[in-house]
Amino acid sequence: MLKAGQAAPTFVLPDADMELIDIARFQGRNNVILFFYPRDDAPCCTLQATDFSDHEDEFARFDCQIIGISRDDCIKHAEFRDKHGISVCLLSDADGLACEQYGVWQAREVNGVTKYGIVRSTFVIDKQGVLRLALYGVNAKGHALEMLRAVKELNS
């Protein structure tokens, strides 16, 4: 698992419109809030993505770009975005490479069977590409506002 102070791993992934987004392009220009979520259209995932979207203007005041990542494909992301009015960037990590880099693809035991999945996690990356926060196992409810408070503290 990653820790604050480390360089944020870089990656290039397609967004909901199949445009390739290189995370390194934000270096020197924007802070990045990177949130990993299990899957499109699940209740908590929808809450989290819409909550970040609802506060996107407030994050923009702190030069924050918000990016959500799951292993769903671009088409599912586009449907999810359009169905719920999500405005934040959603990236498809179908191969799970970014999930591995960020340590969010983890095993858990369910009814005696080991299953792998994304642990809901959020990372705050500063303009220099350094992790300022690395949070694993976050709760979707109220999380966007918690991250907004954290970003305000980091900028003060």
Active site residues: 45
Output the CA–CA distances (angstroms, integers) from residue 17 to 44, 81, 110, 149, in the order listed.
23, 10, 34, 30
The secondary element (H helix, E strand) that includes residue 124 is strand 121-125
User: SS3 for 141?
Assistant: coil
Measured CA to CA, the distance from residue 102 to residue 136 in angstroms comes to: 10
The encoded tokens of residue 124 equal 């705050």
96: Cβ contacts below 8 Å, ≥ 6 apart: 71, 105
